[in-house]
Every structure is written in C-alpha cells, then in structure tokens.
Structure 1
Amino acid sequence: MSTFSAIGDEREIDRDEYTPSVEPQPTWCPGCGDFSVLKALKQALPEVGRTPEETLLCTGIGCSGKLNSYLDTYGFHTIHGRSLPVARAAKLANPDLEVIAAGGDGDGYGIGGNHFVHTARENHDMTYIVFNNEIFGLTKGQTSPTSPKGHKSKTQPSGSAKEPIKPLSMSLNAGASYVARTAAVNPNQAKEIITEAIEHDGFAHVDFLTQCPTWNKDARQYVPYIDVNESDDYEFDKTDRVEAAEMMRETEESLYEGEVLTGRFYVDEDRPSYGEEKQAIGEMPDEPLAERYWDDDYEWERSHDMFLDKHA
C-alpha cells in the first residue's frame, strides 16, 4: 500500500498499529516525560482517523528525535533544528499527508528557532510538538533556551544570566493559528490537545512540558498543574489575540514561580493555511506534486525552463 492509495481509506484503526512490529527498546530514562508524548500520539492519531500510511513524523536531534523510532509511521530524522523545513516541504508536496514535526526546546526554540518563527508566520498546515524540559538532555545537561535564569548547568556553572524565552508568546506573535501547552503528568489533556492540534487546519504549536529526571531535577514533575480552560480562576477568550497574549504572559511567568498552567491559549479557525494561500494565487497546483512521481505519462516541468522563458 502506498501513501497515495492509503489516504482517504476509511477503516477502523487500532492504536497498536503505531507500534513497530519489531519494537525497539526505548532508550529514554525511566520517568522521562517523552513517554507521555508517544502515548498521546498513539491515542490521538486513531481518534482523528489517520492510519500509519497517512502520517509522516519529522524529528530533530536530541531525546525527542527518537520518537519516530518508536512510532510506526513514515519518519524522517532530520539534523539539529531542521525538522520544520523538511515537514513543510513534505506537506506542500503531498497536502493530504498528515504531517507532524517534533523537537526539543534546544532543537526547536534554539537551533531551529528561525524555522519555528517563519513556519508559524506562514501558517503551514502541520502539528509541531516541542518537548520542553528546560535542558539539553541527550548531550548531558547543558542550559537550553527555556532554562530559568540562575539555573546552573555544565555550560553555566555559576547560573544562567539570561531570561528564558517565552515560546507561547513567540508562537502567537509569529502567527501560529493554534497554540497550546500540556504536560506529561496530564495524559488525558495531552491526548485531547494533540488530537485538536492534528485536526486543526494551519500551524498548530504544542509546547509539551516533559520532565527530565536525569539532567534537570530542578523542574521536578511539573505538578501541580492547572487547566486554564477549566479553572474558574482564569477567564479569557482563546479566539482573541489580545486576551490570549495576556494569558500566555501570565502562564510563562508563573512556570518559573512553581505554578504550572496548561491548556489551549489561542485558536484561529478562519485563517487560511500557507498551502491554501498559495493555491489561491495560482502558485501551487491542485494535484499533489508528489503524485507526479507515480504518473509515467506526466511531462515534467523544469524550473530553469520557467526562468529562461522570463529572460528570453
């Protein structure tokens, strides 16, 4: 079965289909929050009706990069910070493919920060899950973009002199049309948010708090947590950018004071995705570009021919 013949094939999907037939032994540390991301994805994908053949998972480098070794879908293990450009290209070439990108806080907010900002700005139709444990875990405990000020590590033995970035606010300001935060210690909410993110048409950013019991004991387990959408103490309109921005600011400041706020912070269902915008101005074909590889009769267009015509 190819990716093309599988897309749109409605059938019952069992979450066990996402477990590799020869399941590798996970190398995440016991107690690692990354296990919760894997579990949430295995629960969410069947719920939205996506089969392994309809799904592509692009990962970066780091502990989070091991995710597609444990999830039986199409996978692309990119270099550090580069999961988003690969995911964007795949989605534009085959829009019916369900594309998910994943990376850690160092991978996504540091090394790949530029790609993160511009993917959100352009509102590419994909889900981006960032494993945020406030540390570089795979390389053994260096300060990351989300490490709190004063945090001591191998690279900052006297404590970090820098304020951490605010990923939710950065995502909203860049242009993401779905912004949420969940935590490994809240599996039910994690599944619901991942499901909503996959179903969302546009760039869905999920900041997933994943505790690192080995290299970041300061962050503990991200408990207790509060769901801002269910708590009576927090009232805001998640479809209003101004109210969402204020709620995000409070959330990001509270995290380093010991209060873990999670939930859906911003949702824009009306904004067209990047692919839709490109089709509207005639710069993207209705037929998926990737399908042309399977059409023996297709007469290939070469980009250099188009340039030569313009300058002839």
Structure 2
Amino acid sequence: MSAFNAIGEEREIDREEFTPGIEPQPTWCPGCGDFGVLKALKQALPEVGRTPEETLLVTGIGCSGKLNSYLDSYGFHTIHGRSLPVARAAKLANPGLEVIAAGGDGDGYGIGGNHFMHTARENHDMTYVVFNNEIFGLTKGQTSPTSPKGHKSKTQPHGSAKEPIRPLSLALTSGASYVARTAAVNPNQAKEILTEAIQHDGFAHIDFLTQCPTWNKDARQYVPYTDVQDSDDYDFDVHDRVEAQEAMRTAEEALYEGEVLTGRFYVDETRPSYQGEKQRIGEMPETPLAERYFDDDYEWERAYDEFIDKHR
C-alpha cells in the first residue's frame, strides 16, 4: 500500500496506532512538558480521522526534535530551524497528506524565524506546533528568544538585556489564519486545539507552553492557567483581527507576570490556503505531484525543456 491509496481510507483509528514499536517510551526528562504535546497529538489525530499512513511529522533540532521518533507516522528530522520549508514542500507535493511541523522556541522563533514569518504569510495548509519552554533545553540551558528580560543563564549570566519574542502577535501580523496557545498542564484543551488546528484549512500556529523542570525552573509548570474562552474577563471575537491582537498582547505580557492565558486567539476561515491560491491561478496540478512517481505511464515534464524552448 502506498501513501496515496492509504489516504482517505475509511476505518476506525486507535490512538495506539501512533505508538512506535521500536522506541515506544520517550526519553525526555521526568516532568518535561513535551510529554503533553505527544499525548495531545496521539489523541487529536484519530479524532480527525487521520491514520499514521496519512500523517507526516516534520521536526527541527532540540528536545522537540525527538517527537517524530515517538509518533509512528511518516517523519522527517530536519536541521536546526528548517522544519517549515521541508513541511511546505511535502504538502505542496502531496496535498492529501496531513502535515504537522514541530520545533522548540529556539528552533522556531530563533534560527527558523524567517521561515516562520513567510510560511504564515503564504498561509500554507499545515499545523505548526512550537514547544515554548523559554530556554534552550537540549544544549543545557541557554537563553532563548522567549526567555524573559532579566533571565540569567549560561549565555546571559547578568540577565538578558533583550525583550522576548511575542510569538502570538508575530504569527498574526505575519498572516497565520489560526493562532492559539495551550499548555502541557492543560491536556484537554491541548487536544481540542490541536484537533481544530489540524482540521483548519490554512497555516495553524500553536504556541505550546512546555515546562522544562531541568533547565528552566523559573518558568515553573505554567500554572495556574486561564482559558480565555471560559473566562468572562477576556471577552473578544477570535474572528476580529483588532480584538485578537489586543488579546494576544495581553496574554504575552501577562505570561511574564505570572498569569498564563491560553486558548484560541485568532481564527480566519475565509482566507484561501496557499495551495488553494496556486490551484486557482493554474500553477498547481489537480493530481498530487508526488503521485506521478507511482504512475508508469506519466510523461515527465522538465523545467529546463520549457526554458530552452523559449530561447530557440
């Protein structure tokens, strides 16, 4: 069975199908928030009817990069900050595949920040989960793009002189059509948000707060938290960019003051995805490009042939 005739197969899916046989037990530190992301993914994918054969998980470098070792699906472990361009290419080649990209706050908001902005701007149809623990965990506790100002670390022994990245606001202003924040300590909400993000047609960004008890004890466990959808104190329209922007600003400032606000912050269900736009202007075929590798009768098109014909 190829990846193509497995897509869309109607059958019951059990979350344990996503547990690999080779390395079923994650080796993250005890108490790590990354366990929460893995659990939420295993719950969300069957919820939306996706099988391991229909799913591609692309990861970057860092503790989060081990995610696709612990999730039994198609996987691609990229270099630092490069999960998004690989994920974009895979989705364009095979739109029927459910593509999820994942990385840490250093991977996604630091070295991969440029890819983050432009993937959001183009609104590629995929889900991007950023493990935000406000620290470089794998390399033993250096200041990251989301570390608060004044945070002391091996690279900033006198305290960081820089303001942290505001990931929710950055996603919105860059063009993401679904923006949310959840936390490993809120598993029910995490599952619901991941399910919505996977079903969303467009670029869905989730800032996933994942505590690091080994290298960032200052961040504690991201509790207590407040779900902005359940609180009367935070009443705003997630479909209104202006209201969403204000709510994001409040959440991003509150996080460093000890109040954790999670939930959906922006949802645009009207904007076409990048794939939809490419098909509309005739630059993307109806048949998945990757499927042509399985078609013995397909006559291959070569870009250089068209280029040479123009100059003859």
Question: TM-score, with normalisation over the residues of structure 2?
Answer: 0.99
Match of 2:291 in 1: 291
| d(CA) in 1 for partners of 2:45, 2:210 | 20
Match of 1:166 in 2: 166
Alignment of 1:96 with 2:65, yes or no, is no
Match of 2:282 in 1: 282
Match of 2:140 in 1: 140
Match of 1:311 in 2: 311
How far did residue 168 of structure 1 move? Answer: 0.2
Aligned residue for 1:61, secondary structure, equals coil
| d(CA) in 2 for partners of 1:23, 1:80 | 23
Correspondence list, 1:227-246, <5 A: 227-246=227-246
Identical columns (%): 86
Aligned residue for 2:5, secondary structure, equals helix
Match of 1:59 in 2: 59
Equivalent residue letter for 2:186: N
Equivalent residue letter for 2:156: Q
Residues 10-44 of structure 1 deviation map (CA, whole Å, 9 limit, x = unaligned): 10000000001233442200000000000000000
Aligned residue for 1:196, secondary structure, equals helix
| d(CA) in 1 for partners of 2:218, 2:208 | 17
Residues 201-229 of structure 1 deviation map (CA, whole Å, 9 limit, x = unaligned): 00000000000000000000000000001
Question: TM-score, with normalisation over the residues of structure 1?
Answer: 0.99
Match of 1:27 in 2: 27
Equivalent residue letter for 2:269: E
Alignment of 1:188 with 2:157, yes or no, is no
Match of 2:9 in 1: 9
Correspondence list, 1:144-155, <5 A: 144-155=144-155
Equivalent residue letter for 1:188: N
| d(CA) in 2 for partners of 1:311, 1:271 | 38
| d(CA) in 2 for partners of 1:26, 1:50 | 22
Correspondence list, 1:176-215, <5 A: 176-215=176-215
Equivalent residue letter for 2:20: P
Unaligned runs of 5+ in 1: none
Aligned residue for 2:4, secondary structure, equals helix
Equivalent residue letter for 2:209: L
Match of 1:219 in 2: 219
Greater mean alpha carbon deviation, residues 130-139 or residues 16-25: 16-25
Match of 2:264 in 1: 264
How far did residue 255 of structure 1 move? Answer: 0.2
| d(CA) in 2 for partners of 1:266, 1:307 | 43
| d(CA) in 1 for partners of 2:309, 2:256 | 58
Match of 1:106 in 2: 106
Equivalent residue letter for 1:70: Y
Match of 1:39 in 2: 39
Aligned residue for 1:26, secondary structure, equals coil
Match of 1:117 in 2: 117
Unaligned runs of 5+ in 2: none
Residues 253-295 of structure 1 deviation map (CA, whole Å, 9 limit, x = unaligned): 0000000000000000010000000010111111100000000
Equivalent residue letter for 1:160: S
Equivalent residue letter for 2:217: K
How far did residue 311 of structure 1 move? Answer: 2.9
